[in-house]
Structure 1
Amino acid sequence: MCHYYPPHVGGIENVVHDEAVRLAELGHQVTVLTSGERTSVVEEVDDDGNTVRVVRIAAWNISERRTGVPFPLLSPRLLPRVLRWARWADVVHIHDCFYLTSWAAGFASAIARVPTVLTQHVAMVEHPSGLVMAGQKLVYGTMGRVLLRRAATVFTINEYIARFVGTLGAAPAKVVVLGNGVDGRLFRPAADEAERRRLRERFGLPADRILALFVGRLVPKKGIDLVLGAVESEDAAFDLVAVGSGDAGLLEGRERVHFLGQQPTRMVAEIYRACDLFVLPTTGEVFPLVVKEAMSAGLPVVTTDEPDYARYGLDPEGVALVRREPDAVRRALAAIAGDDALRERMGSYAMQYAAKQFSWSEHMTTLVHHYRSAGAERR
């Protein structure tokens, strides 16, 4: 169960897609229930012949369009459909406890007496609207708490979110930190300068500038304001490429900013190959998916020095972990953009680290183990 699924663009939906396809590769029957422009059931087949059934329920995305908050409002068909597929399933996997799809899945699995596991992808998201902040607290303190307590296993993508779900009543014994994997075949460096030039030409990017890439929603939580301040400083020897959703007006009229909007996953992978470094001064996130993708693509990374990064043993000369302050972000970007040898060293380190640490095979082994455990408890 997930509120969105490709072709809708976003980190959670990409993770759900990759898990679903890999489960199908392992021989499991997989149904994804999600939102869509209209209600439909489609058998999606990948290049290797693996099939994932995708059940979409018609939804309205008013909240996302007007406030940037991804909260689709689904039609009343949601409940009967989720009940049907909960009865079909051995295990219901809920992605994030914040959404209508999650609440419906929790209700249906309780009625059908089917065990649930839950992946919590985020904690509280900072937002300038007091109403949005109050809404998050209300949801997490009510439905979120119920879903987290009922789940057989609660996966979190890092320790920070593990602590967050603990405050909502998730028992420590059932919380498992399960980092997202990265497809190294898709997220790879450019083969050579000729490929990089071709990709820059395809996306309308300058051929003769150092390009720093930002991938994420254009909101304060992700630090887009800090990146814009850095690119407009006097010592900025680079242009900014921005990919994501949000208020595009923030980027209009800025001479060294190239906004590519939302892009499908394969296009984003190509944009990584076209750029020289990656920046995401986010808050409350440790190894978000886009940072892992950038490292797998061999890009030097500038991101926020969250305390939980300490447990990963990162080389401070291989990844730039900086204070979430304008000057710190600006200095890091200026240093990396102005030093070809430094970019090469950091990119090589990032790629090697990603190949060792961001394994989909380990992720899937852990996931299936907990599916089987939940099913065994049911039997």
Structure 2
Amino acid sequence: MRPYRVLLVSHYYPPHLGGIENVVRQEALHLAARGVEVTVLTSGERAEVGTADGVRVVRVAAWNGIEQRAGVPFPVLSPALLSAALRWARWADVVHLHDCLYLTSWAAGAAAALTRTPHLLTQHVALVEHPSPLVRGVQRVVYAVAGRALLRRARRVLTLNASVADFVRGYGARPERVGHLPNGVDTALFRPAGSAAEQAAARARFGLPAEGVLVLFAGRLVPKKGYQLLLDAHDPAAGYQLVFAGDGDAAALRGRAGVHHLGTLAPEALAEAYRACDVFALPSTAEGFPLTVQEAMASGLPVLTTDDPGYAPYELDRTQVRLLPRQRDALRAALAELAADEQLRARMGRWSREHAAAAFGWPQHAERLLTHYQDGPHPDDQHPDDQHPGSQDQAGRG
């Protein structure tokens, strides 16, 4: 009996750094560890097919000028995307799309429909309140057209919080097919510092101050992440300094007292940055439940982030996590409170680690994914029982 076959579809994939691509990589690795045959369809600087850690990665050549010039992560892929999507949809038992905003998802969703392969969709975010009216308008058009078609046909739509669940239902997802599935986190990589000496060594490697409280922000320096709000709320007299890990518009960070910029960090370096710091702050908006919040919790940091009613499924203890309005004064007061109270930081950090270990493990995530994949087809899936045509195409299998 041949292995179960999954086609994971993402606009980016490592070494490109970002939340969705890290999620897809971890899904691919943990599914492969369970004997699933996994192919990832994604973009790349050039077209290539390779295998690493038991996962086949099919890259279609893409132009990334929109991300480079406007900070919008939207690769424009070559027309070869369509033929690649058809080939691998035929090969797969199920197609798993990540977010319906991208060309990769549109092409793979269409290929799944043409080959009668069932597809699932993980929707990570709702509409992003981008400062550009053009970007906001394009989002609405895409979700109303391509997004609605993908959501409507999906065997299952997986969301990260209740707000995103409401969003996908509003754009055509069938309510009975919408489910909650939190992202996982590598709790071995993202762990607390084992000692004061380990934290001091991590600070030294990044050139950070040896003394004092450090507050970490991890994410792209774009408006929805709230980095400017964090800068505005910063009070150097309160006894803490800010550390930013991420790329984007760093001009606002330069020359500010008590502000450090580490740039973009690979996962291993980012894990060390968490261990170098004492508090995690991310006043973002419209993000589902950010992966960096989960990483910070696994790293044993007290977390300060935006209050969102959609977080209800995560059962966060509000006495142990600071969930705040996106207001400068509220953020400033919470940062000052945490900076001044070492025992409070320690208590919140212990709770963060315990909650992450229980709720966010990647093995549990992969097991739940397999359950969703292998659920019986819905009546209108019309997926044939015989072998996929693509399974005979050895060239297509890389």
Shift of 1:148: 0.6
Shift of 1:76: 1.6
Contact 1:115/1:374, CA 8 A, preserved across alignment: no
More moved, 94-103 vs 353-362: 353-362
Matched positions, count: 373
User: Which ranges in structure 1 are unaligned for 5 or more consecutive residues?
Assistant: 46-50
Shift of 1:312: 3.8
Amino acid at match of 1:253: G
Aligned partner of 1:177 in structure 2 is 180
> How do residues 194-273 of structure 1 correspond to structure 2 at under 5 angstroms?
194-231=197-234, 233=235, 235-273=237-275
Aligned partner of 2:58 in structure 1 is 55
Q: Distance in 2 between matches of 1:160 and 1:235?
A: 37
1:173-211 Cα deviation digits (max 9, x unpaired): 000110111111011001111111111111111111311
Shift of 1:290: 0.7
Amino acid at match of 1:109: A
Amino acid at match of 1:252: R
Contact 1:272/1:299, CA 8 A, preserved across alignment: yes
More moved, 269-278 vs 200-209: 200-209
Instruction: Give the counterpart of 1:321 among 309, 313, 323.
Output: 323
Aligned partner of 1:192 in structure 2 is 195
Shift of 1:361: 3.0
Aligned partner of 1:276 in structure 2 is 278
Shift of 1:311: 4.7
Contact 1:3/1:34, CA 8 A, preserved across alignment: yes
Instruction: Give the counterpart of 2:161 among 158, 163, 170.
Output: 158
1:77-96 Cα deviation digits (max 9, x unpaired): 11111111111111111110
1:260-319 Cα deviation digits (max 9, x unpaired): 111111111111111111001112345311111101100000111112334544332211
Aligned partner of 1:14 in structure 2 is 22
For CA contacts below 8 A with separation 6 or more, give which structure has more relative contact order. Answer: 2
Aligned partner of 2:131 in structure 1 is 128
Aligned partner of 2:300 in structure 1 is 298
Aligned partner of 1:48 in structure 2 is none
Instruction: Give the counterpart of 1:25 among 33, 45, 49.
Output: 33
Aligned partner of 2:393 in structure 1 is none
Q: Scaled by the length of structure 1, what TM-score is found?
A: 0.95
Contact 1:140/1:168, CA 8 A, preserved across alignment: yes
RMSD of aligned Cα (Å): 1.4
Aligned partner of 2:394 in structure 1 is none
Q: Distance in 2 between matches of 1:284 and 1:171?
A: 22
Q: Distance in 2 between matches of 1:351 and 1:298?
A: 5
Aligned partner of 2:82 in structure 1 is 79
Q: Scaled by the length of structure 2, what TM-score is found?
A: 0.91
SS of residue paired to 2:130: coil
Instruction: Give the counterpart of 1:69 among 63, 69, 72.
Output: 72
1:37-95 Cα deviation digits (max 9, x unpaired): 111111102xxxxx000011111111111111100011121111111111111111111
Contact 2:156/2:178, CA 8 A, preserved across alignment: yes
Amino acid at match of 2:109: G
SS of residue paired to 1:30: strand
More moved, 362-371 vs 320-329: 362-371
More moved, 145-154 vs 350-359: 350-359
SS of residue paired to 2:142: helix
Aligned partner of 1:94 in structure 2 is 97
User: Which ranges in structure 2 are unaligned for 5 or more consecutive residues?
Assistant: 1-8, 386-398
Contact 2:300/2:352, CA 8 A, preserved across alignment: yes
SS of residue paired to 2:41: strand
